[in-house]
Amino acid sequence: MGNPSDGYGGKTLSAIIKNFTAEVTLTESEKLYIAPDPYQFDSVKTLQQHIRQDGYYGASRLFKATLNVFARYFNTHKNSQALQANFTVSYQTNIPRMVGLAGSSALIVAMLKALIKFYALEVDQRILPSLALAVERDELKIGGGLQDRVIQIYEGLVAMDFADMELVGGYFCGRYQCLDTKLLPPLYVAYSLDEGEPTEVFHNDLRSRYEAGEASVVNAMQEFAELSDRAVCALTQSDHGLFSMLMDKNFDLRQSISTLNTQHVAMIEAARACGVSAKYAGSGGAIVGVCESEATFKQLKVNLESMGCVVVRPVIN
């Protein structure tokens, strides 16, 4: 809830889902080596599908940028002699990419955690999301906000406030409140197998409009933050109906300020036709909503799978 206001002094509510994982392994070696992306394709058709979903970029640039930001942080704020040993980087992930499920930031966060463990270092937990964001925003010029990185670091269910950022260790950090995941009603997550779109397509345009002072965008960011506050209250009062309605409002507000991918909007419409709420999970390509009835969930799967989507019950704990 509240996205995409995390990059604009807003508030968000986010949960980690354990259905998907990203794992980075560092193995000590003589030279520093980042293993190439392990792509193999059964046919030209499957290669084309991969490009539609993932683009032409692999994970190696994420790891290089992460290591650069991490080393810069320690050279400036910590012990520059701590990063002496070399290693080989390997990884695996089953997170669908470019559908708003934070696949790129998950690899960056996994890399940060691996570096901390490999070098036996201590870093303030509150700083880590800001370090992760710096990798994409500052090094790779990919638009985005702190929300995904915060939930990947803290996990569980977290209410985030970015209105009064505090400078900690050279990085601006928000205020993060961990909530009980049992407050959440039964949810569903659905994502497209075909219609991937880089997050920067949405965020870079929004940033320029916000910085230009476009009233509809500036006002929407305040409304997004208010939706997040109301959502937390709804959860604490076990008002699942209100929470579900607020999810719909979050998407409708986003749609009012942006021209959205028609295939992604069709996913929202198909879900709502089943009588459930639906909003983007991120920037498009994946949706999330409340679905308390198993009978409705079965119908939801039928509707969305016919459109080339995968529908799951998210594991949240």
Q: Which residue out of 6, 148, 239, 248 is catalytically annotated?
A: 148
- Cα separation, 60 vs 271, in Å, equals 36
The answer to whether the beta carbons of residues 53 and 96 sit under 8 Å apart is yes
* Distance (Å) of CA 304 to CA 199, 255, 284, 308: 22, 20, 15, 7
- Cα separation, 285 vs 95, in Å, equals 13
Which of 262, 254, 316 has the alpha carbon at shortest distance from 285? 262
148 catalytic per annotation: yes
User: How many CA atoms are closer than 13 Å to the CA of 100, on its beta-carbon side?
Assistant: 23
Which of 181, 189, 184, 129 has the alpha carbon at shortest distance from 157? 181
- Cα separation, 46 vs 30, in Å, equals 36
| Residue reference for tokens 């036709």 | 273
Q: Is 207 helix (H, G, I), strand (E, B) or coil?
A: helix
- Cα separation, 33 vs 291, in Å, equals 45
- Per DSSP, which regions of 187-268 are E strands? 187-192
Pairing between strand 286-290 and 279-280?
Answer: antiparallel
Which of 183, 99, 108 has the alpha carbon at shortest distance from 152? 108
Active-site annotation, residues = 148
